[in-house]
Structure 1
């Protein structure tokens, strides 16, 4: 499994992922008969939104390990979206048809007037749609749950009581309670402001998520299993009502 680590340069992580996607594309061109059969939900995605200190990154790692998927954390997604060369590389990983479709949907989302028209947001949306189009992606933060079509993945919110998050930060940073509370609240407010600025949404609105998990009561291992079961359950429901070919469409005009 490929996963994000602080010790590996972003450029190397992206290059490795690009090679994996290219191999998959070449195999696909040779004919479906040579590709091992996969469950339908393997074309999906999981987005992880979280309160600071609630354990969302660890849950994302465990979900990726359980599914044998790739984690795309907010730093990697941001770096790709703001670096011209990386952005071009990841977009070029798609065939021309899919590139055109994603370009169309990005413009449609921006023109809907429900989002900011900021250039960064346009790049961010295109990168996240491209990552999700390849499937097998666990995407942390950056408002991915407000970009991607709900039917194709699971949008998760991780939270925990403030006192538990403060205690975690105190232990990690060896800092006092007042300072930990200040940091926790500043980070929570920063994330709320990001979503409001670019998406004009409330990050705490439960309507933006399929699954909300309280890590004060549920451990990361159980959380990862719940997310997997939710993903599988959504696809089982979809397969009974939506033609399989439609599941390949990343963008959804009704979920702008």
Structure 2
């Protein structure tokens, strides 16, 4: 059986390092973000308020399209997602939030309950369809992650960053974007951002790359992310400015979904 502890083993390793050492956290790029508890509290309040406002609305389920970012760690995808969010006014849900919610079944059930109150039985229907179509959803963790992503995607328009969300959601409702770059680009970016020497940055990236590889192998039975899985592949070696990349994704989204 898949064990969540194996996915996060790299975190345990980094915690044993000296407290004086700088450890890179995937997605970090210098912007202060809400803590997980603050994010969940604010969103539960928002969902509760939305429920009250929408009780009198038509019972036909809203259909939301999502943007799913897949990336090499250290390529700068979360920064691009935040800039894209400012353009199209979609919320951003990153790897850290997904990891937290995939471990917190009670929190995911709250979201599903909000949705079921408006559209009784619809979430169960969506998830049953997902289980039937996605053969990789076998472990308890994979099922919980799939429930979490499905519930979040159906509550409001979302930009997902990481954790293979493009593999979970219906492909026709997703703009799947892959961000790649050379190893040199990642090492240079991380070393500069974290103020560490390049050899240390490269070492940390190797640890996190291995964790990401193990995650996809265990959860999705995949060794790589082939280009044909995606609507768009952006190489940060050549599209170096984050705002340029965000504008490209916004344009692609508009062209696909209008």
TM-score with structure 2 setting the length: 0.77
CA shift at 1:113, angstroms? 7.0
Match of 2:242 among 220, 227, 242: 220
1:189 aligns with 2:210: yes
CA distance in 1, matches of 2:80, 2:34: 20
Q: Which residue in the other structure is 2:4 paired with?
A: none
Secondary structure of the equivalent of 1:166? Answer: helix
Cα 1:135/1:207, change in 2 over 3 Å: farther
Deviations 1:176-208 (CA, angstroms, capped at 9, x unpaired): 333322222332232122112111224421122
Matched positions, count? 225
Residues in 1 aligned to 2:134 and 2:69: alpha-carbon distance in whole angstroms? 25
Q: Could you say which residue in structure 2 is the equivalent of 1:209?
A: 230
Q: Is the 8 A contact 1:109 1:115 kept in 2?
A: no
Please give the residue correspondences for 1:1-256 in structure 2 after superposition, counting only pairs within 5 Å.
Answer: 8-31=34-57, 43-96=64-117, 98=119, 100-110=121-131, 114-218=135-239, 219-236=241-258
Moved more, 177-186 or 80-89: 177-186
C-alpha distance in structure 2 between counterparts of 1:99 and 1:62, whole Å: 35
Question: Using the alignment, how far apart are the partners of 2:200 and 2:141 within structure 1?
Answer: 32
C-alpha distance in 2 between matches for 1:171 and 1:157: 23
Measure how far apart 1:85 and its partner are: 2.6
Partner residue of 1:250? none
Would the alpha carbon gap of residues 112 and 228 (structure 1) be closer, same or farther in structure 2, given more than 3 Å must change?
closer
Distance in 2 between the 1:167 and 1:214 partners?
Answer: 15
Closer, same or farther: CA 202–211 of 1 in aligned 2, 3 Å: farther
> Deviation of residue 55 (structure 1)?
0.7
